[in-house]
Structure 1
Amino acid sequence: MAAASHTRTGHGALALVSVLLLSLAHGSLSLSLGLGVGGRRLMELYKPDPSELLTYHNGAVLHGAIPVSVLWYGRFTPAQKAVVSDFLLSLTAASPAPTPSVSQWWGTIAQLYLSKANGGANAKRATQVALAGQASDERCSLGKSLKLPQLAALAARAKPRKGGIALVLTAEDVAVEGFCRSRCGMHGSDARARTAYVWVGNSASQCPGQCAWPFHKPVYGPQAPALVPPSGDVGMDGMVMNVASMVAGAVTNPFGDGFYQGPREAPLEAATACPGVYGSGAYPGYAGNLAVDATTGASYNANGANGRKYLLPALFDPDTSTCSTLV
């Protein structure tokens, strides 16, 4: 198993650094150079190396019918499981919801990435996610302190189908190597089996300020009030944000040679290239202009199946080098 890990965090200072680095990488930051020509400062636009741009590296993507097999590791209530299950059901247009919708967000991934892979061979083929099955390991058979290789082993237990994704979700009392310190989730793959896997942890009791922001105050940076989560469960709504981000990476860069920016070992991908951006006008410490439910006061940017509302990450548009948001 070759795993590629990715970090998503609401850490204000890190978000600021990310924005500056992304600005440089995308060629959008002007550098002022004092060259002393008659007291005039010359402005020079930084032109990044092509390897620093989010581009297609001619590898495989996941497309067509993508079966997702879920493994719940640790204890989750039926209500908690329904939050994620309904999100997965919402990804397909077969589950209609008012706009802006989860299926609209998924369609953006297909439009910006999947349709352009393999010389555009996938352009006319609809890509849909299907919930293939769910299994539980409530007793935590591998213990409650997991190393990264064990995540791949758990993914294999989910029995993902060829061209599909195994989704491993760990409960809030399960510690995972690097969780909270350097990652909120990750995705990897089994190149031989041609399957991908995604892991995301419930951060409710370990690091909600890092992995469930903006539904919890960040550990560092601007301390704006936390937003109200749509499901009423900070940990689960945080998990959905991270599941969305990692699934976006898993389908567009499943085997490390698809769409990404930067080094292959630590790439920026479709969603992770837009850290902390959920709505228009976002900046470090502010998630952006979001919709607010008049009854519950919950903030969201996407409608889903069964009346659900979700907050989903912005997606990077390689053509314009901007972050595309639903609202």
Structure 2
Amino acid sequence: MAFLDGYKYAAFLSFVAFTVFSTSVADNASSHSTAFLHPESKFRQVRKFHPVRKTGGFSYSPEPTVALDYHFGPVMTGRNDVIKMFVIYYGHFSRKQKRVLSHFFKSFSQNETQELHKPTTEKWWGLTRQYVDLYETPVAARLVYEGEKSNNYSLGASLNQSDIQTLVVKSLESFGASSRSMYLVLTSEDVLVERFCQNVCGTHFFTFPSDATNDQMLPYAWIGNPAKQCPEICAWPYAPGGFLKEGLIPPNGDAGIDGMIITVANLLAAMGTNPFGNGYYREDGLAAAAVCQGVYGDKAYSGYPGNLLVDKSTNASFNVYGYKDSKFLVPFMWDPATQQCALQA
């Protein structure tokens, strides 16, 4: 039997991971959501990343002191080297907001030729290819934006973490169930979500096998729009904070949506490299991009995002190009090959 077929071995390992970690997280989550919480599922856009002391001064490119460890579980190899993404827009998103987000999702598998010297979303995702399973199979090369649906507040404007899973399971009627796919729930700026802005900007979880999921575990994530509730936390550096007295200009003209994209990128990397809580993560629970949180350019340090690209026509700051030459900001990711935070493969 192939290691990843049906992710049945993953189910066993993830059950073990849940047994080990459920007690430690019980104080921070409800008993229901705890059953689906694993070490690095929380992500907060933290800006306090301290420079490392070196002989002769400080390093301005933060370096985690502990490398990511592999815990013998699967990574997301997808099907035929492709991971499908399905998106649920919960609440109210304008056409422009959906267009910006869909352009970001399409950037992982665009067919347009990019200039070789340009940093791109595709090359950023290429860093995940350094993460392999027990059979040396890497994370899938491509993410494909497969489908979306809108949900007009079917569960109200205040959600628990358990409601996120309910939305995902309900969406399977349209999207179908596959443990080799990613399911994303995006909530609009007027939707309150448990723990949002208190200690997380987004979370990723997985379902245990059930009739509704065709006996599969399904990786899914939730990301909230922080525009009204906590831009200084979850939309930084497009909101003031740290050494930034004024927020940078967002490339798509919407600090909330551009802030969401940062968190989406972080959680896509986490799901790809640690979908069931037994893949790659540091001993403190941080995963592939979270260990480089707050780092978006060279010479980054605590409270400063680093040297970024600037759009000459708008003065907006970004670090990667995407679909139809769109522009985005994504966090640096830990590169196991070089043992450093990096932007491109």
> Normalising by structure 1, what TM-score?
0.81
The structural deviation recorded for 1:62 is 0.8
| Structure 1: gaps (5+ residues) | 31-47
Mapped contact 2:270–2:287 kept (Cα < 8 A): yes
- For the structure 1 residues 190 and 94, does the alpha-carbon distance in structure 2 shift closer, same or farther, using more than 3 Å as the test? farther
Counterpart residue number, 1:153 = 166
Q: Which residue of 1 aligns with 2:243?
A: 222
1:29 Cα deviation (Å)? 7.5
Report the CA distance between 1:132 and its aligned residue: 1.7
Letter in 1 for 2:178: R
- Please give the secondary structure, in 2, of the residue aligned with 1:187: strand
Q: Select 1:105's aligned residue among 124, 129, 146.
A: 124
Check conservation: 1:314, 1:325, Cα contact below 8 A: yes
Would you say 1:72 and 2:95 are equivalent positions? Answer: no
Once the two structures are TM-superposed, the CA of residue 53 in structure 1 deviates from its matched residue by: 3.5
Whether 1:3 and 2:19 are equivalent positions in the alignment is no
Deviations for 1:253-277, whole angstroms, at most 9, x for unmatched residues? 00011111115xxx10000001100
> What are the residue-to-residue correspondences of 1:79-118 with 2, within 5 Å?
79-92=96-109, 94-98=111-115, 99-110=118-129, 112-113=130-131, 116-118=132-134
Give the match for residue 270 of structure 1. 288
Report the CA distance shift for 1:122/1:214 in structure 2 as closer, same or farther (over 3 A).
Answer: closer
In the aligned structure 2, how far is the partner of 1:96 from the partner of 1:243? 24
Change (3 A) 1:3 1:96: farther
Q: Name the structure with the higher strand share.
A: 1
Measured after TM superposition, the shift of residue 3 of structure 1 is: 2.8
Residue aligned with 1:158, SS: helix
Q: Which runs of 5+ in 2 are unaligned?
A: 1-34, 56-64, 210-215
Residue aligning to 2:224:
201
> 3-state SS of the aligned residue for 2:133?
helix
Q: Partner letter of residue 302 of structure 1?
A: V
Identity %: 38
Superposition pairs for residues 1-327 of structure 1, below 5 Å? 2-4=36-38, 5-10=41-46, 12=47, 15-16=48-49, 19=50, 53-63=67-77, 64-92=81-109, 94-98=111-115, 99-110=118-129, 112-113=130-131, 116-122=132-138, 127-138=141-152, 140-159=153-172, 160-192=177-209, 193-218=216-241, 221-263=242-284, 267-326=285-344
1-side partners of 2:82 and 2:276: how far apart?
18
Question: Residues 127 and 258 of structure 1: is their aligned pair in 2 closer, same or farther, counting only changes over 3 Å?
Answer: same
> Partner of 1:165: helix, strand, or coil?
strand
Q: One-letter code of the match for 1:180?
A: C
CA contact 2:319–2:329 (8 Å) conserved in 1: yes
Distance 2:227 2:334 in 1: 28
| Mapped partners of 2:337, 2:141: distance in 1 | 21
Partner amino acid for 1:174?
Answer: V
Q: Give the total of aligned pairs.
A: 285
TM-score, normalising length: structure 2 = 0.77
C-alpha separation in 1, matches of 2:256 and 2:299? 25
How far apart in 2 are the matches of 1:53 and 1:307?
34
Instruction: Give the match for residue 58 of structure 2.
Output: none
Query: Which residue does 1:41 correspond to in 2?
Result: none
Residues 280 and 325 of structure 1 are in contact (CA less than 8 Å); yes or no, is this contact kept in structure 2? no
Instruction: Give structure 1 regions of 4+ aligned residues with deviation exceeding 4 angstroms.
Output: none
Q: Secondary structure at the match of 1:120?
A: coil
Deviation at 1:157, TM superposition (A): 2.4
Conserved in 1, the CA contact under 8 Å of 2:75 and 2:275? yes
Displacement of 1:95 in angstroms is: 4.4
Query: Cα deviation per residue 1:229-255 (whole Å; 9 max; x = unaligned)?
Result: 010011100011100000100110000
Give the conservation status (yes or no) of the 8 Å contact 2:127–2:335.
Answer: no
Per-residue CA deviations over 1:63-86 (Å, capped at 9, x if unaligned) read 222111110000001110111111
